[in-house]
A and B are shown apart, each in its own frame.
Chain A
Amino acid sequence: MKDLPILSVRGLRKSFPIGRGWAGQAGALEALAGVDLDLHPGEVLGVVGESGSGKTTLGRCVLRLIQPSGGDVTLDGIDFLALRGRRLRRGRRRLGVVFQDPYTSLNPRMQIGQIVAEPLRASRQATAGTVSEKVVQLLERVGIEPRFITRYPHEMSGGQRQRVAIARALATDPDILVADEPVSALDVSVQAQVLNLLLDLKREGGLAMLFISHDLAVVERIADRIAVMYAGRIVESAPTDRLISHPLHPYTQALLSAVPSVDPALRRERVRLRVDLGHPGHRVDGCPLAGRCPVVQDVCRSEVPPLEEVRSAHRVACHLAKDQLD
């Protein structure tokens, strides 16, 4: 991919105050400790991590739903973090968002048609006359029949609701879809339907996605590239097939080997992490995984390994990764 990235994130930081409240800050939890990533037009980047890794905070900072503490977010060459007022609203139209839980992300007092029409009206992307026509088009694109337009969210199943949420996200014709655990709240059979819908959208082309999930097997299906997060940092990123077949970071290896499989032939040798006795989020010198890493060395406890390219498009933040390549 030689074209310029549509979204470019550099050194993104976000810390949340923790502790005493009115008695003064006791400290800060570093949810994002300097994240760099590029998303190219039409590309799907999977962001994988466990709870507390910062993956959701990353999505929210990119959307400017929360303000990052530092770093840059560049949207198609524009400094997105500097935008205010009308220009911010215009910038946001280029980003669509789908959240995990379709039971709480749709307004229960609005009909399906109204939910999908709202961003169209707010962004003045459709005139009063063309709104309903566009709503029908959007719903058809996600596989919802037009007769559902007057229904309320509670009258629909979880899978249908998530389709509506996707239609709403597509209403402003965004360049980027930020999907945060979009299939995690759904039953397995329905999860497959929604994932296939997102695959169809990907195949239609043009739409880039930041696909955030804890589930590597789900991410593998849809992502062109995967970034693995741990403790607020990207520890490894590579093209999907490469990352799944040749993971270099011990954390990625542990994560991959922990995924259960119905097919015993596909089971991997388990890479076990040690039990972490400290609290996540507390600042540590050195590699954030050092306390749990099965192959930890002295250098890991004193120096943070930088995210470095060890092969074409394969970046790893591990002092020992280069040794594994030989």
Chain B
Amino acid sequence: MLLSVSGLRTRFEVDEGELWPVNGVSFAVAAGETLGLVGESGSGKSMVALSIMDLVPSPGRVVAGEVAFEGLDLLSLGGAAKRRMRGGGIGMVFQDPAVSLNPVYRIGDQIADVVRLHRGLGKAEAWRETVHLLGDLGIQEPEKRARAYPFELSGGMRQRAQIAVAVAGRPKLLIADEPTTALDATVQAEICDLLKYIQGEFGMSILLISHDLAMVTDVADRIMVMYAGRIVEIGHWTAISREPRHPYTKGLMGAIPHLGAGSGRPLESIPGSVPDLADLPAGCSFHPRCPEAGDDCQAALPRLEDVGDRLCACYRVGGSK
């Protein structure tokens, strides 16, 4: 396994008490695989990414668990090794390229910096490599675009540029957190194609994080669903999309409007809303909203267990305490 995360717990100490946006998360990403991480706001999905990169903002802290990347324990790395890993081993793409790109440097310079730092190329060589990479990632007139500032590019092109920055160091894993959320539908589809291309062409693994189950289904090989700081279901994308088994995944699937379903049909909605992390229900966090909940669900937390073709954390799907 390229990346393996086990028992990861991240805690925030705030006035309301302790919050656990990541509360015992374990998963692995194989080489060349795209793993999708799906959840609603407050599920902790972005915090998983930040915990892996050791970028959890104060007052948060990773307090338990292990993150092993190519056998290296990421959580105990020192300064220099950590900097080499960020960008060199693992690249990261964020939601809004308008925020994460530096507005006062040319796109090409931001990419070339990464190439020089992580691949040790000289200035001229790094620039050539940058232009080549931009062209490879579907940017027309790459030489001209490399000299552009972020504000001179459209939203879709900026996201391509940000992806170029993230992959310029030839990392083995790309973590993409809501990479299409700020974009229009047609551009979103282009970025999805680009992610598939990167995975295929560069042999890169991708951890794709999004609230959009349909988008993730389109790109990912395996999908994991997160709710209130915990993973509730992991499986191959065909298994999850054809036959979701955790009641939350089922609810999520029913709540998505499918194009072509016809006018006037109501959606199957999940009652209530995502729980406050400061005030989680006892037992399974989903039980107050769950149509299948019983007394056992309130009593104790179901563990994420192998139920045949997937892992699932639910007593109704054969889980245990």
**Residues of chain A from 190 to 228 with CB closer than 8 A to chain B in the complex:** 190-193, 195-196, 199, 202, 214-218, 220-224
Q: What is the predominant secondary structure among interface residues of chain B facing chain A? A: loop
* Cβ contact within 8 Å between A221 and B40: no
Cα A258 to Cα B263 with chains together (Å): 19
| Complex interface: chain B residues within 8 A of A241 (CB) | 262-263
The residue of chain B having its C-beta at the shortest distance from the C-beta of A196 within the complex is B266
B215 at the interface (CB under 8 A from A): yes
The residue of chain B having its C-beta at the shortest distance from the C-beta of A254 within the complex is B186
**Residues of chain A from 234 to 293 with CB closer than 8 A to chain B in the complex:** 240-241, 244-245, 254-264, 266-267, 270, 272-273, 275-277
Cα A242 to Cα B63 with chains together (Å): 55
For chain B, the bracket of interface size reads: 35 or more
Cα A266 to Cα B242 with chains together (Å): 12
Cα A224 to Cα B263 with chains together (Å): 7
B252-277 contact mask (Cβ, 8 Å, vs A): 1 or 0? 11111111111111111111011000
A159 at the interface (CB under 8 A from B): yes
Cα A245 to Cα B271 with chains together (Å): 32
| Complex interface: chain A residues within 8 A of B155 (CB) | 51
Cα A51 to Cα B185 with chains together (Å): 10
A189 at the interface (CB under 8 A from B): yes
| Complex interface: chain A residues within 8 A of B143 (CB) | none
B154 at the interface (CB under 8 A from A): yes
B217 at the interface (CB under 8 A from A): yes
Q: A223-B263, A270-B189 are in contact. Are A189 and B40 (CB under 8 A)?
A: yes
8 Å CB contact of B189 from A189, A190, A196, A260: A260
B251 at the interface (CB under 8 A from A): yes
B298 at the interface (CB under 8 A from A): no
Most chain A beta carbons < 10 A, residue from B140, B259, B262, B264: B259
A1 at the interface (CB under 8 A from B): no
- Interchain pairs with CB closer than 8 A, number: 139
A65 at the interface (CB under 8 A from B): no
B280 at the interface (CB under 8 A from A): no
| Complex interface: chain A residues within 8 A of B274 (CB) | 187, 189-190
| Complex interface: chain B residues within 8 A of A277 (CB) | 140-141
In the complex, identify which listed stretch (B81-89, B170-178, B206-214, B302-310) lies at the interface while the others stay far away: B206-214
Q: A221-B264, A223-B263 are in contact. Are A260 and B214 (CB under 8 A)?
A: yes
* Cβ contact within 8 Å between A192 and B41: no
**Residues of chain A from 129 to 164 with CB closer than 8 A to chain B in the complex:** 157-160
| Complex interface: chain A residues within 8 A of B263 (CB) | 220-224, 240-241
* Cβ contact within 8 Å between A157 and B258: no
Q: A158-B273, A262-B213 are in contact. Are A221 and B265 (CB under 8 A)?
A: yes
Cα A306 to Cα B172 with chains together (Å): 51
The residue of chain A having its C-beta at the shortest distance from the C-beta of B213 within the complex is A262
| Complex interface: chain B residues within 8 A of A256 (CB) | 259
A325 at the interface (CB under 8 A from B): no
Cα A196 to Cα B184 with chains together (Å): 24
Cα A126 to Cα B274 with chains together (Å): 36
| Complex interface: chain B residues within 8 A of A240 (CB) | 263
A309 at the interface (CB under 8 A from B): no
8 Å CB contact of A258 from B141, B188, B254, B260: B188
* Cβ contact within 8 Å between B214 and A261: yes
Cα A222 to Cα B213 with chains together (Å): 21
B192 at the interface (CB under 8 A from A): yes
Give chain B's interface residues, CB within 8 Å of chain A.
40-41, 138, 140-141, 154-157, 184-186, 188-190, 192, 211-215, 217-218, 238, 241, 251-271, 273-274, 289
User: 5 closest A-B pairs (Cβ-Cβ)?
Assistant: A192-B269, A192-B255, A50-B184, A258-B189, A189-B270
Provide 13 A-B residue pairs closer than 8 Å at the C-beta atoms, listed in order of the A residue.
Answer: A157-B273, A187-B273, A189-B269, A192-B255, A192-B270, A215-B257, A216-B259, A222-B264, A244-B260, A257-B189, A258-B185, A262-B253, A266-B260
- Known pairs A50-B185, A258-B185, A261-B214; list 16 more (Cβ under 8 Å): A187-B41, A187-B274, A189-B251, A189-B255, A189-B273, A192-B270, A195-B267, A220-B257, A220-B260, A220-B263, A258-B188, A260-B212, A261-B218, A261-B259, A262-B241, A275-B157
